[in-house]
Chains A and B, each alone.
Chain A
Amino acid sequence: MTRSAAAGYTDLVDTVAIRAEGLEKRFGSTPALTGVDLSVEPGELVALLGPSGSGKTTLLRIVAGLEQPTAGRVFFGGEDATFVPVQARRVGFVFQSYALFKHLDVAENIAYGLRVRPRRLRPSRAEIRRRVADLLDLVQLSGLERRFPSQLSGGQRQRVALARALAVEPKVLLLDEPFGALDAQVRRDLRGWLRELHERTGHTTLFVTHDQDEALELADRVAILDRGRIEQVGTPDAIYDGPATAFVAGFIGESVRLPVTVTGDGLHIGQHVLSIATTVAPGPASLFVRPRDLVPAATRAAGLPARVTGVRRAGPARRAELMLGDGLPGIEIELPADISVARGDMLAVQFRTVRLFSA
């Protein structure tokens, strides 16, 4: 939050906290959001993560004022913004497809929000020019001010959209799938750049993504949405290491869900029994397994026997695909360097972490 370090871009209005209380949204009879509570601290970068149709974009649009909630309230700082029209909310919104003005060049796009102000609030022409130059500098696009959006690459358009949103000195910054339309390499570059930009300008930022790597890497906190509800809000570590619900456990990481049964003597996985203590109530349950949750057992007796159905490379690691029993979905284990197995071998495995939820 070293705001003063933002070169030439120090005249920001104070950024404020965002608080959503009991938001409901129905489109016709279809509920898009149910009972959503969320608060974002001033200067915080929060990701809304969820599968498509989970309501994350609807939530973002309600915060922006582009949609009206069926019930509930939105606060900007101490101010109730629920009925403040979108024009007066002073949000910087970056659209998924950027929504740049096609008929205006880069400089005119960025200046738009300043030019449409009523005369008494409008900066002078020279001031607008200066502000545009500063913003172009900030998003590293100096020299492209006379280009039209159609003459820019995807990554450049994205940065123009961001500069245009920042030009109105927004109280909060809202980004809808900011990297959705870019290829993998550009995504990675822009991710780091956005994090850096956020540290310089310090805006309260809420961004929507369906890419968990992006959310976990970029955000201070992540809110996981599913079917219009917030399932869990937490730091990336808390979300990754301690999923609070079965949905989050299945959604985050490369998780495979194994149907299991909990009884008095432990966990029944297919034919096998794993004797562990659990707080999950007896009955059918779901066990979520990620590649690093499993380790080869020291002795055959200490682990569950699994059949190796394949070995493959995944980046720096080697992984084996395993079957614990007939009718169970295949799971993966990350292999230590000193173990080599081949397809058809039997491997005894132990659980390092058990993520168990009532089914």
Chain B
Amino acid sequence: MSEQAADDISGTPAGGPRRLRPRPAVAETAAMRALLIATAIGFLGLFVVLPLVAVFVEALRRGIGHYLETFADPDTQAAIRLTLTVAAIAVPLNLVFGLSAAWAVAKFDFPGKSLLITLIDIPFSVSPVVSGLVFVLLFGAQGVLGPWLAAHDLQIVFAVPGIVLATVFVTVPYVARELIPLMQEQGVSEEEAALTLGASGLRTFLTVTLPNVKWALLYGVLLCNARAMGEFGAVSVVSGHVRGLTNTMPLHVEILYNEYNFVAAFAVASILAGLALVTLVAKSLLEWRYGDALGRSRLY
């Protein structure tokens, strides 16, 4: 063994022994690092930044005047209003559902718990088209509940309630999925401590549980909101595409695009893209401003 090592040393060129700089075991060589970073940045640039830039470039191609004209159109305004309305209903519903589901899963043991977790994930695994179709089959004119609804003059499919239902269905996992792992990890000992100190159940929830999950909750709500506003597939199936009535922003973009009204299509799309950017910036700002509080709720 030592002989072998001696051979190796004598085998080095006479130009002098190669300088070996100590390097941490997990660090890569400079070339490898450059390659990895370039790959990551190149990929993101090509597949994320470039399309995003393209949206704004296309929207402003004929100048700011044309861009703003799009929003004077009553159908576009109706689409924006509808999208905001749907999000305003779907997001709070999911907030309440997500909190209760996460609470139930993380803090109690009950029969059917794993079934509940699986059910929460279904909207992630089912194609949005199927999610929409389910509601048509349930509430449509030929559907299971169709005749009863018709008899009571209730319109669900091809109307706002259908769009809300489809959106809620598609966004169900977002808040719950953010909260469950965190709440499971946190356990119940802080809640128990609050109870031994005399706090009521509600008080414990408000002063201990909620503050401990507020960042995850906010993050879940942001994601849920982005999806609620951007959902296309499920909403497309149940909407019926009635202009000015049941067209959400994503559907409106498609209609404008199919009519070769590219500037208007990209103008509306830029609002959606802008929304995504605002969400991202809001999240980054929160993380930067409250980073220590965020870290506190994860560490220790």
Contacts and interface: CB of A to CB of B under 8 A. Distances in A.
A281 interface: no
Nearest to B204: A116
A148 B296 CA distance: 8
Contacts of B195: 66, 86-87
B193 A116 contact: no
A93 B193 contact: yes
A99 B297 contact: no
B118 to A, nearest CB: 23
B190 A101 contact: yes
Contacts, number: 76
A86 B212 CA distance: 22
Interface string B206-242: 0110011000000000000000000000000000000
21 contacts: A65-B196, A66-B192, A66-B195, A86-B192, A87-B196, A87-B199, A87-B200, A88-B198, A93-B193, A99-B190, A100-B193, A101-B194, A101-B211, A102-B212, A103-B212, A103-B297, A112-B199, A112-B207, A116-B194, A116-B207, A165-B197
What does DSSP make chain B's interface, helix, strand, loop or mixed? helix
A164 interface: yes
B194 A112 contact: yes
B203 A101 contact: no
B116 interface: no
Nearest to A121: B198
Nearest to B210: A103
> Which of B189, B190, B198, B296 has the most chain A CB within a 10 Å cutoff?
B198
Contacts of A164: 193, 197
A87 B195 CA distance: 5
Given A102-B212, A103-B296, A117 B198 contact: yes
Contact of B198 (A66, A116, A149): A116
A179 B291 CA distance: 31
Nearest to A92: B196
B299 interface: yes
A101 B200 contact: no
B296 A86 contact: no
A341 to B, nearest CB: 41
A102 B194 contact: no
Give me the 5 closest cross-chain CB pairs, A-B, nearest first. Answer: A113-B197, A99-B189, A150-B300, A99-B193, A93-B196
A168 B189 contact: no
Interface in A97-130: 97, 99-103, 112-113, 116-117
Interface in B234-271: none
B293 interface: yes
A43 B296 CA distance: 37
A64 B207 contact: no
Contacts of A88: 198
A113 B212 CA distance: 18
Contacts of B196: 64-66, 86-87, 89, 91-93, 165
A66 B190 CA distance: 12
A167 B197 CA distance: 9
A102 B293 CA distance: 9
B193 A149 contact: no
A99 B192 contact: yes
Given A102-B212, A102-B297, A113 B198 contact: yes
B197 A116 contact: yes
Contacts of B197: 112-113, 116, 164-165, 167-168
Nearest to A86: B195
Interface in B170-196: 189-190, 192-196
A240 interface: no
Contacts of A92: 196
Nearest to B297: A102
A145 B245 CA distance: 58
A86 B296 CA distance: 28
Contacts of B207: 101, 112, 116
A95 interface: yes
Nearest to B201: A87
B296 to A, nearest CB: 5
A123 B105 CA distance: 37
A92 B196 CA distance: 7
A295 B197 CA distance: 54
Contacts of A103: 211-212, 293, 296-297
Contacts of B189: 95, 97, 99
A178 to B, nearest CB: 14
B294 to A, nearest CB: 10
Contacts of B208: 101
Interface string A38-51: 00000000000000
B198 A168 contact: yes
Contacts of A91: 196
Contacts of A93: 192-193, 196
A91 B199 CA distance: 13
A97 B193 CA distance: 11
Contacts of A168: 197-198
B300 A102 contact: yes
B296 A102 contact: yes
Given A90-B198, A97-B189, 5 more contacts: A66-B192, A99-B189, A101-B190, A112-B199, A164-B197
Nearest to B198: A87
Contacts of A90: 198
B142 to A, nearest CB: 49
B194 A95 contact: no
Contacts of A95: 189, 192-193
Contacts of A116: 194, 197-200, 203, 207
Interface in A58-107: 64-66, 86-93, 95, 97, 99-103
A91 B198 CA distance: 9
Contacts of A167: 197
